[in-house]
Amino acid sequence: MNRAELELIFKTFAGCHIGVIGDFCVDAYWTLDTSEREISVETGKPTHAVTRQRYTPGGAGNITANIAALNVGSVHAISITGDDMFGYQLFNLFDQLGIDRSGMVQDDEWQTAVYCKRYRDSEELERIDIGRFNRVHPQAEQKLLSAIDKAITELDVLICNSQIAGGVYSEAVLNHLLELAKKQDHCKIVLDFRNLPPHFENFYVKLNANEAANYYGDRYEIDAPIPEDNIKCYAEHIYATSQKPVMVTRGKLGMVVYDGENHVTIPGFQFLKPIDSVGAGDTTAAAWGACLASNT
């Protein structure tokens, strides 16, 4: 594929409509200054001074940000958020990116998920997480189901992303998505879960090599290379349930895609300098979603 062909594909994205449902988070980056530690008058303990703060969409929000960067026609966020300061920060980030947030349900009992990443110089310290123990309550669940039904009539692709155990994926939400995948064919539904649910028939499945191995019952060290033949076997095993194309990413080794008949191996790029690969899976999900939406 040459540059002209690639640019032609990018142009087709402008007519596409993609939704993302899942665990939308705020990534909070706090830079600490430890040169002078002030002592709290109230507690007598040292305080931590934040000299710089920055916020970006995290979790499923990172996928929507990447889709927006591809200049897709419309991007829709569907989830639950808290009626709290970080929920409003997430809305502000969506508005800056032009993301449709009408499918976001606010719930007083929900804490907007936040990954608070504290830095001392270039060193990332222990992370502080908010919203890890959220559970979907009945009223918010019904609103979320309604938001899904409303959005899917307008979408070419719906990406289902899971970041947090539990999160927005109650049993009712998963069953509803299964029924939608079975009954309609105008919207392709992509599953991007760290751990595949018990049922995922009719879903396009994207996962990494370790996640595919775990589903098959094999265990590898996180950075251990998994043989390509094994990856192909895992993809076939997953396809047997999904009956839709399966994409297995392999980090620097690229990825393998299986469509039920053929395996396509896509090699990785060689980088001569260290890069930050965090979020590469989200970028892959966004790009695959855009290609599925445009039938390219």
Alpha helices in the chain, H assignment, sequence order: 3-12, 60-69, 85-97, 138-152, 171-183, 209-216, 228-242, 280-294
**Do the beta carbons of residue 101 and residue 125 sit within 8 Å?**
no
4-18, 86-100, 271-285 — which is least confidently predicted? 271-285
Is residue 283 helix, strand or coil? helix
Please report, rounded to a whole number, the percentage of residues in the chain having pLDDT higher than 90.
81
Label residue 170 by pLDDT band (50, 70, 90).
Answer: very high
Is residue 142 helix, strand or coil? helix
Residue 200, class by beta-carbon neighbours within 10 Å (0-12 exposed, 13-18 middle, 19+ buried)? Answer: buried
Q: What is the pLDDT of residue 276?
A: 66
Which helix (H) or strand (E) segment holds residue 36: the answer is none
Q: What is the pLDDT of residues 109-126, one digit of tens each?
A: 999 999 999 999 889 999
DSSP 268: P
Q: What is the pLDDT of residue 90?
A: 97
Distance, in Å, from the CA atom of 162 to the CA atom of 59, rounded to the nearest integer, reads 8
CA distances from 184 to 90, 176, 177, 203, 206 (A): 31, 12, 11, 12, 20
Distance, in Å, from the CA atom of 252 to the CA atom of 238, rounded to the nearest integer, reads 22
Q: What is the pLDDT of residue 1?
A: 76
CA 65 to chain centre: 10
Cross-strand bridge partners of residue 141: none
For range 263-272, the mean pLDDT: 83
For range 157-170, the mean pLDDT: 91
Q: What is the pLDDT of residue 20?
A: 98
For range 181-210, the mean pLDDT: 94
Q: What is the pLDDT of residue 223?
A: 77
Label residue 86 by pLDDT band (50, 70, 90).
Answer: very high
Distance, in Å, from the CA atom of 108 to the CA atom of 8, rounded to the nearest integer, reads 45
For range 145-155, the mean pLDDT: 96
For range 41-45, the mean pLDDT: 92
Distance, in Å, from the CA atom of 15 to the CA atom of 293, rounded to the nearest integer, reads 9
Q: What is the pLDDT of residue 277?
A: 63
Distance, in Å, from the CA atom of 14 to the CA atom of 65, rounded to the nearest integer, reads 15
Of 21, 74, 13, whose CA–CA distance to 190 is shortest?
21
Q: What is the pLDDT of residue 267?
A: 87
Q: What is the pLDDT of residues 125-138, one digit of tens each?
A: 999 999 999 999 99
* Residue 221, both tokens: 């060290």
Place of tokens 């123990």: 133
φ/ψ bin of 157: left (φ > 0), alpha (ψ from -120 to 50), beta (otherwise): beta
Q: Which residue would you say has higher pLDDT here, 48 or 223?
A: 48
Label residue 273 by pLDDT band (50, 70, 90).
Answer: confident
Q: What is the pLDDT of residue 221?
A: 85
pLDDT of 103 above 90: yes
Query: Cα dihedral sign for 265, 221, 61, 152?
Result: positive
Q: What is the pLDDT of residue 256?
A: 97
Q: What is the pLDDT of residue 269?
A: 74
For range 173-177, the mean pLDDT: 97
Distance, in Å, from the CA atom of 19 to the CA atom of 101, rounded to the nearest integer, reads 10
